[in-house]
Structure 1
């Protein structure tokens, strides 16, 4: 679903140093006010902004490399914990996941779906794609209806729940639609209305403004 995801930050250079030097992600494009990374079949862009933003996003990794990926991550970052645990199994997705944060506080999840295997050591080349991207907005119901009109259906709920975390998508890629001031799982961070641009693999584009309103292209 995700071809290019563009997020915004007022800590651009710190984030570039973190992703390039700590996580050793490959920077494929960069300028004075942005940088872009390949995340498997997806691209993730950070653009400079005057305002702080906060996001949650997940990256799909092979299920059989989960233990190797966790060891790889623990050599580089401090894993987040929830109720004393540093990872979790999601029965709904038949997947294992762990979480950590970047210098801007963005909550990053590596999720390993057990039905997906790749026979190699875990490296950056093991990243499959962007799995989940958060949209935080006070207009949850309205934005949810717009996303459904674009063909992105609700998963797990009958309809959009304005006060809850909503999954929209299918298989292993989802938009997480959530209201402000909701705590992200495995984090003390609260969701914050933040601008974001998403280019979908079907050619359509979504832009969420700083106000939380959504526009389509």
Structure 2
């Protein structure tokens, strides 16, 4: 197996899934993808197997593949675990931030505030902010697992989250700015309290969203 070709196919297909080019349930045709990437089928097949391990792809018995589907409830279960781990990662990152990284965090908040009306844009920019906070976490294993969990629920949560919880969009810049203020003050305990309170608020919002999603399904 040519690892570099497999890695290239993996990164390209993964990005297309996370960007919504391939939607949940879409078939992933080996021949078509290989042609698009100018590769043989072997590295593409291996890339799809790696994406299956990531929870982004389902490989069927007859050798076909499709983008994984997640129920809204399963997406929340993944998100809940991610948010708990993210608290630890963000708190651990506090002593590692400096004036330049804090300046970058504030710039990301300004970018987020430019367009709060489009759920997927909001989700992407909010993720960029939190990724930048966690980038200084010294525990790479923890950081990678938070990112992996974010990927696994991304298709279901990136749009649905803010569609069903529009009030959360307006709170993000306020919460994120408070996070940066606490990081700049080196107040790890204060940041942890803020993130725990935020998690409690998100749990309430998700519970309401689950009820809305269930009601919508029943009407169909």
TM-score clears 0.5: no
TM-score category of the 2 structures, normalised to the smaller one: under 0.3
Structure with the bigger percentage of strand: 1
TM-score using structure 2 length: 0.26
Q: Who wins on radius of gyration, i.e. which is larger?
A: 2
Structure with the bigger percentage of helix: 2
TM-score using structure 1 length: 0.26
